[in-house]
Amino acid sequence: MRVRRLILLVVLALGLAACGSSGAPKPTHPTKIEFGIKGGNIAPFDITVSPAGQITEVGNLHITKRHLPSATEASLSSALESSFAGLSSRQCKGTLPDVGSRFIRAEGRTVTVHGSCEAGFEQLWGRLTAAVGFD
């Protein structure tokens, strides 16, 4: 009787372990994204994209969209997940002090770049500004 219980427990434990070790990729969850410019002679601005795709802005700027389709928001969240962790704040050589610093804030951290020497930042910035229709 004890042997049967032991075998049953082992089979159940193996079954539970197999269920929990799925190789399925982690789903991309929408992320709140903020980006903008601060400092310098350019009027500062801040654009926020909510996890639901709602776009709000603070400052004197012109954006053409007020809401992102869920597919676009998911694409931006995916881009952040894959590249944002590798970015670092930088002060680019030769950038004049009257040029404002651009920032991207997401996932609990902010990356600020003064200039255009961070290629990954430039690429992500371009995707963000295109998504919201920033001129």
Q: What is the pTM of this model?
A: 0.76
* Residue 97: per-residue pLDDT: 86
Whether the predicted pLDDT of 18 surpasses 70: no
Burial category of 113 from C-beta neighbours within 10 Å (exposed 0-12, middle 13-18, buried 19 and up): buried
Whether the predicted pLDDT of 3 surpasses 80: no
